[in-house]
Each structure stands twice: as structure tokens, then as C-alpha cells.
Amino acid sequence: MDTSALATSYSAELPAWLRDELADVPEFLETDEDRMALVHRLADRNFREKTGGPFAALVVETETGRIVSAGVNLVLASNLSAAHAEVVALSLAQTRVGTWDLGAEGAPARELVVNWRPCAQCYGATLWSGVKRAVIAGDGPELEELTHFDEGPVRDDWQAQLEQRGLQIELNVLRDEAIEVFRAYGESIATGDSLVYNARGTAENG
Amino acid sequence: MDTSALATSYSAELPAWLRDELADVPEFLETDEDRMALVHRLADRNFREKTGGPFAALVVETETGRIVSAGVNLVLASNLSAAHAEVVALSLAQTRVGTWDLGAEGAPARELVVNWRPCAQCYGATLWSGVKRAVIAGDGPELEELTHFDEGPVRDDWQAQLEQRGLQIELNVLRDEAIEVFRAYGESIATGDSLVYNARGTAENG
């Protein structure tokens, strides 16, 4: 076959606004609430900037609160359906530290901070990344109801399964504030300002 | 914070050997078996070349058999734990066609061809990609037993869940041949020639 038409690499890049947004943030975020408040701020701005859905995530050093990476959902910006906030944050953290294993021996323990229970894909991605802890704003039907995103088939015992594999789960951190962001996004869909991109029926540009 | 230390993009790139390997392959692969035979060949070569685990995947146009993308597990080569064969093949296909939705209206129906039931991450990634069909060499405990990879917590009704969401699943295509690759990989671990990289305990380089 003629292999010249094949894509041989893929990439995703943070939008410029995110770096600007982080410039004002302290390098260390002490509490779970401090960390989650930043996640909510990024999630809210992400959909308003039209770079993706209302989702954001951080990788943070658990002990010190040092921000290792910040990610937002980049599906629309990157054309990659896998570029959910969790995958973006985990991939950027791995790129920065130079290993696929964020739980590598001798490294500071790291955690994922994210504004809802991971979807059917990011659930596994979190597990394979090596983070030792996940701080999650909430779970339950509100996300799907307010945003119309499908979270996919996740096991009912999702939390126990992660805990059995050594992840500590901190659930319900600034949960109401997460819902506020989803509600604002839902309103922006209703007025036609945002796109729910797991509906199929888009056109291709190439 | 000083944002200059943050990674702002991540990427994965196919190894040079894969492009060479594809040069001899016909542009259209008619049957499921033709497609899977190529997947097995790439999976086998991937671990021998030390670019990743014994896993490969294709995105193919179901009707014509045209190869849209080819991916292999690039966790080791890219330092990204999410760069499993399925995510690589789906991401490369999306990069080539220029949309995150491989099931976009007006586009030819596309399928994922992969050498075992997707893990807890790739299960969701397959669903979000827009492919309409998945051709899977097999499922069951053999993969974990022979390769020592952990496939993670997937729902017991994984197939029905995908079918309910409109994916056609073709299971058990060249299953024995899949197991042969896993067995060869298992032997290369035993002799110290390969690394099972979901064990934690690596060192960081940065």
C-alpha cells in the first residue's frame, strides 16, 4: 500500500488561554478544595472558550500540593475523541516527568483531581497512569442529565475496584460547584452556544 | 505559578518499522481474517522491536477493507500510559480524517480490528471513537495469564453494552493466532527480553 496517506503521529495541545489562566495560580495548592476550585474554574472556561466540554483535571503531588499538570477536555480542539480532561492531564504529567508511570518508585505520590467520576474510558486511563489517589467532585446522574454527555458503561462497584488496586478515592469535594458548571454548560447548549459532541452526525473536514 | 515548566502538549509517533511493514500490505483487506492477520503480525513485531506490548489495532473501512490507520501499543516509546494500540489506531484515524467522530454522517462505516478484548480504558475509547463495528480476536483469561498484563475492571456484560450502543461485535477471529503471539511474548518476559509495564517500580528520567 501507499503509506504516505497514513497519519504517523497524533498530538494534543493546551489552548493558550489555559496557560494565561494558570499564571495567577499559586504553585502549591494545599487542600483538596483549593485543587478542586481550580478544576472547576478551568472546566467552566473550557466550554465558554469552545475548546471542549465542561471538564478539567489536574495532576498534583499529594503531599506538597505542587501542580504537575493541568488538562481540559480537548476533543473539539484536537479532533481526538480520547482527549478527555483526565487523559490530557495524565498525558501532560507523563510528558513532563518523562515516564508513563506516575507512581514510579522514588517519585512523590501523585493524584488526579477531576470534576466528576471518570467516564468508561478515563476510568481505565486513571488506573494505568500510576496515580495513587483520585479526588473526584461527585458521581451520580446529574452530569448526564445536565450536560447530555454519555458517561458509558462503568461497573457499579467502580470505586471498590479502584481501591482494591491501591488507589485512594476522595469523593464529593465541591460537588455543588461541579453541578453549577454543568448547569451553565447545559444552558449554553439550550441556547445553541455549545455542542454535545458524543451525538453522532458531524461532518468531516478531510 | 511559573507555567514554563508545564508540558503544554503531548504526542505519540509510530515507529519507523511499522511504516516499512505496511509497505508490502495491500491497500484493501477483504476479510476479517485478512485484517486480523495483519494485526497479529504488527503485535508480534511490536514487542520484538521493544516499542511496546504485544498489541496492535487497525481502523478499516468495513465495506471496502481500506486501511485507514494502523496502531501498536506505544506506552514505552511515547511514555504515555494511555497509548494502547486501540487509542493509537483510533487517534491516527481521527487525525487523518480530521474529525473526532469516525462515525460522522456521510463517511464510510469504519471498524476497529484488535487482537483481544479491549482493556478497561480502551473499552470506553472504542465507544467514543464513532466506529460502528469491532472485530476482536478473543476474550478470556489467556491474555492476562500469558502476558501478565492487567486488563482492569470491565463490566461482565461488556459486549451487550457495546451492542446496545450500536456497535456490531465480531468475536473470535483468529483467536488461536492471538494466543500464539501472547505466548511468544510471555516467553520473552521469562528470558528477561521484555518488560511488563503495568508493574509499578520504574525509574523516572526527568
pLDDT per position as a tens digit, B46-82: 999 998 899 999 999 999 999 999 999 999 999 999 9
A91 to A1, A30, A148, B117: CA distances (angstroms) = 32, 23, 26, 23
DSSP B28: B
Q: Is A26 strand, coil or helix? A: coil
Instruction: Name residue B57's beta-bridge partners.
Output: B71, B114
Chain B contact probe: residue of A80, A131, A149, A196 with most B CBs at under 10 A: A80
Contacts of B80 in chain A (CB under 8 A): 91, 94-95, 100
The answer to whether A124 contacts B129, with C-beta atoms less than 8 Å apart, is no
Q: Are B183 and B116 in contact (CB under 8 A)?
A: no
Residue B13: left (phi > 0), alpha (psi -120 to 50), or beta? beta
Q: What is the pLDDT of residues B162-202, one digit of tens each?
A: 999 999 999 999 999 999 999 999 999 888 777 666 544 44
CA of A180 vs chain B CAs: smallest distance (Å): 25
Per DSSP bridges, beta strands A67-72 and A56-61 are antiparallel
Residue A192's pLDDT band (boundaries 50, 70, 90)? Answer: confident
> A-chain residues within 8 Å CB-CB of B95?
7, 9-10, 79-80
Q: Which residues in chain B touch residue A204, judged by CB atoms under 8 angstroms apart?
A: 97-99, 101, 104, 106-107
**What pLDDT is recorded for position A148?**
87
Least reliable range by pLDDT among B9-23, B118-132, B167-181, B189-203: B189-203
As to burial, measured by CB atoms within 10 angstroms (0-12 exposed, 13-18 middle, 19+ buried), residue A19 is: middle
Lowest pLDDT segment from A90-104, A126-140, A143-157, B76-90: A143-157
Helix boundaries (H) for B84-205: 85-97, 120-129, 142-147, 158-164, 175-190
Residues linked to residue A133 through DSSP beta bridges, in sequence order: A111, A168
Distance CA B82, CA A106 (A): 22
Distance from CA of A51 to the nearest CA of B (A): 13
Q: Supply the pLDDT for residue B192.
A: 79
Per-residue pLDDT reduced to its tens digit, A96-138: 999 999 999 999 999 999 999 999 999 999 999 999 999 999 9
- What are A150's three cell numbers? 454519555
- Check residue B205 and give its pLDDT: 36
Q: Where is average pLDDT lowest: A48-57, B144-153, B194-203?
A: B194-203
Instruction: Please name the amino acid found at residue B45.
Output: R
- Asked if B106 and A76 come within 8 Å (Cβ–Cβ), the reply is no
pLDDT value for A204: 45
Out of A61-65, A153-157, B139-143, give the one with best mean pLDDT: A61-65
Q: What domains are defined for chain B? A: 31-190 (3.40.140.10)
Buried/exposed B30-42: b ≥16 CB within 10 Å, e otherwise: eebebbbebbbeb
With contacts defined as CB-CB under 8 Å, which chain B residues touch A103? 200
Q: What is the pLDDT of residues A8-17, one digit of tens each?
A: 999 999 999 9
Would you place residue A190 in the very low, low, confident or very high pLDDT band (cuts 50, 70, 90)? confident
Cβ-based burial of B169 (10 A; exposed 0-12, middle 13-18, buried ≥19): middle
B109-140 burial: b if 16+ Cβ within 10 Å, else e: bbbbbbbbbbbbbbbbbbbbbbbbbbbbbbbe
Q: Mutate which of B13, B75, B128, B164 to disrupt the A interface (most A C-beta within 10 Å)?
A: B128
User: Which residues in chain B have Cβ-Cβ distances shorter than 8 Å to A154?
Assistant: 155
Determine the residue of chain A that is closest to B16 in CA distance. Answer: A8
Report which of residues A76 and B133 the model is more confident about: B133
Note the pLDDT of residue A199. 44
Nearest to B81 among A94, A119, A203 (CB): A94
Tell me, what's the pLDDT at B51? 87
Average pLDDT, chain A: 93
Q: Compare all CA atoms of chain A with the CA of B66 and give the residue at the minimum distance.
A: A1
Chain-centroid distance of CA A73 in Å reads: 6
Residue A203 pLDDT > 70, yes or no? Answer: no
CA distance A57 to A35: 9
Contacts of A51 (CB under 8 A, 6+ apart): A15, A17, A72, A73, A74, A76, A77
The winner for highest mean pLDDT among A45-54, A190-199, B187-196 is A45-54
Q: Taking 90 as the threshold, does the pLDDT of residue B206 lie above it? A: no
Q: What is the mean pLDDT of residues A31-55?
A: 96
Q: Would you tell me which residues 115-174 of chain B have a C-beta closer than 8 angstroms to some C-beta of chain A?
A: 119-125, 127-130, 152-155, 157-158, 161-162
Three-class DSSP category at B98: coil
Please name the residues in contact with A141: beta carbons below 8 A apart, sequence gap of 6 or more. Answer: none
What ipTM does this complex have? 0.93
Half-sphere exposure (Cβ direction) of B171: Cα atoms closer than 13 Å: 12
Kindly indicate the confidence band of residue A189, based on its pLDDT and cuts at 50, 70 and 90. Answer: confident
A203 neighbourhood in chain B, CB within 8 Å: 99, 104-106
The one-letter code for the residue type at B146 is: L
What is the distance between the alpha carbons of residues A197 and B100, in angstroms, rounded to a whole number? 9
* Amino acid code (one letter) for A137: A
In 3D space, the residue among A180, A139, A140, A141 whose CA is nearest the CA of residue A47 turns out to be A180
C-beta atoms of B99 and A205 within 8 A: yes
- Closest partner residue to A82 (CB to CB) among B82, B99, B162 is B82
Q: At what angle do helices B120-129 and B85-97 cross, to 10 degrees?
A: 20
Contact B96 A206 (CB under 8 A): yes
